[in-house]
Amino acid sequence: MSEPAGGAGTAAHGADSEVGRLRTVILHRPGPELTRLTPRNNDRLLFDGIPWVARAQEEHDAFAQALRDRDVEVLYLTELIAQTLADDEARDLAISTALGDLDLGETMQGYLRGLLGDADPEALTTYLTAGIRNDEVRGGFGLVTSLLAHDDFLIDPLPNLLFTRDSSVWVRDRVTITSLAMPARKRETELTELVYSRHPRFAGTPRIHGAHYEHVEGGDVLLLAPGVVAVGVGERTTPAGAERLARQMFDDGLAHTVLAVPIAQERATMHLDTICTMVDVDRMVVYENVADSLVAHAVTPRGDGDLDVAAPRPFLEAAADAMGIAELTRIETGLDPVTAEREQWDDGNNTLALAPRVAVAYERNHATNARLEEAGIEVVAIAGSELGSGRGGPRCMSCPVSRDPLT
Ligand SMILES: NC(=[NH2+])NCCC[C@H](N)C(=O)O
């Protein structure tokens, strides 16, 4: 693990498993970006409904408090962004990156450059996360603003920032900047990359992957055990993304085996962590309707720099072998396939381990939580009626920055 970069009191950064005692996590408290959702844009912005924002904030505050109650340091993404933007070079970079891809013409570009340039770090953070709507721009700024609809976005909002899991992943002492597949989320990694490269606490952290590479999303990356990483390949992470990530992890000595796990390209299973998450060093909660059909292609480094790819085998068997344990035991969602399907949809499988045998889960998934408790897992239950409308649970809503090593 790297030395603490943030001065006295901060833990070393890094994680080598899903279950080592959680020390520091990045969350995003839902904010004004969620007020941008309407029934006309929610599909494009990847929400299944229109959340009640104040209630989502209450639920999220309770989630953060449950973590603090267990001595987890909670960092908020927007605070990290604002702190980073206090530096002039970081600001210039953030503004030119955000405006770089906008197809809005020179007049509007010039206007936005001035608006963002004059904003203080907090206001700039809000512009970059909640976006700017055409009707928020006042007073004759040319042809483009006149022709766009009043509620067209000049800068798109990022409502999925809530799911900090997806835009970066720590693997040992490196941070993976991911490459998000859906257009509505692409800009998120501009912000995580900015924080990890420029924030005083993180500057100098070795980074791997990046937004310019093939798609990999953090929800697909599971650190099953030190050196063993499962990568879901489906709607979000592409085969080439998994291959590149494996190669980088082998080159940097971060893993000895990568298990590429094909998953159905459907909304219900958009990431591997919607299907299974680790709750102990050798146990995972799994959606049983698909558990038996999951397979893994074990990828290992070959001496000549290329990769060995084994024939596909049942996922849990291949995982146990790579982890060097007799069995990776499954705890199943629900008692019958319909309950399981309902609870999987509501992120019953998407738990966040705080330590071996302690996991945060949405309270609504009664059947799954009961199974976890029967198996001796302490369930830290949180409300998520509003948070869940973006289709993500406790694991999706958290990016572990440091966990105690299992090794
Ligand atoms: N790791 C996860 N399962 N993240 C869930 C992300 C949900 C988000 N609305 C999306 O569609 O991208």
Distance (Å) of CA 192 to CA 19, 210, 335, 336, 375: 23, 10, 39, 40, 37
Q: Name every protein residue with a CB atom under 6 angstroms from any ligand 1 atom.
A: 46, 160, 163, 165-166, 182, 185, 219, 270-271, 273-274, 390-392, 396
State the pLDDT at residue 7: 38
> Hunting for tokens 């499954």 — which residue is that?
330
Q: Is 292 helix (H, G, I), strand (E, B) or coil?
A: coil
The CA 268 to ligand 1 mean position distance, Å, reads: 10
Query: CA 51, 52, 54: angle at the middle one, nearest 5?
Result: 130
State the pLDDT at residue 119: 98
**Which residue of 158, 186, 277, 391 sits with most ligand 1 atoms within 8 Å of its CB, as the best mutation to test the pocket?**
391
State the pLDDT at residue 95: 98
Q: Whose CA is nearest to atom 10 of ligand 1?
A: 46
399 is a catalytic site residue: no
The CA 366 to ligand 1 mean position distance, Å, reads: 22
Q: Is residue 99, in this structure, part of any structural domain at all?
A: no
Q: Whose CA is nearest to atom 4 of ligand 1?
A: 396
Q: Is residue 90, in this structure, part of any structural domain at all?
A: no
pTM for the model: 0.95
DSSP labels for 128-155? Answer: HHH-EEGGGS-S---HHHHHS-TT-EEE
The CA 138 to ligand 1 mean position distance, Å, reads: 34
**Which residue of 163, 188, 389, 397 sits with most ligand 1 atoms within 8 Å of its CB, as the best mutation to test the pocket?**
163
Instruction: Give the nearest ligand 1 atom to 236 CA.
Output: 12
Q: Is residue 88, in this structure, part of any structural domain at all?
A: no
Which positions of the chain have pLDDT values less than 70?
A: 1-11, 139-140
The CA 176 to ligand 1 mean position distance, Å, reads: 17
The domain that holds 172 is classified in CATH as: 3.75.10.10
Residue type, 104: L
Instruction: Give the nearest ligand 1 atom to 270 CA.
Output: 3
Catalytic residue among 323, 396, 397, 399: 396
Q: Is residue 126, in this structure, part of any structural domain at all?
A: no
Q: Whose CA is nearest to atom 1 of ligand 1?
A: 219
> Hunting for tokens 């399981």 — which residue is that?
340
Q: Is residue 132, in this structure, part of any structural domain at all?
A: no
Q: Is residue 319, in this structure, part of any structural domain at all?
A: yes
Alpha helix positions (H), 25-156: 53-68, 77-84, 88-100, 105-118, 121-130, 143-147
Q: Is residue 150, in this structure, part of any structural domain at all?
A: no
φ/ψ region of 89 (left if φ > 0, alpha if ψ in -120 to 50, else beta) reads alpha
Q: Which domain holds residue 287?
A: 58-76+159-403
State the pLDDT at residue 358: 98
Please list the residues that pair with 24 across neighbouring strands: 73, 402
Instruction: Give the nearest ligand 1 atom to 166 CA.
Output: 1
Q: State how many domains the chain has.
A: 1
The predicted-structure confidence for 336-379, as pLDDT tens digits, reads as follows: 999 999 999 999 999 999 999 999 999 999 999 999 999 999 99
| 400: Cα separation from own chain's centroid | 10
**Which residue of 44, 271, 274 sits with most ligand 1 atoms within 8 Å of its CB, as the best mutation to test the pocket?**
271
State the pLDDT at residue 101: 82
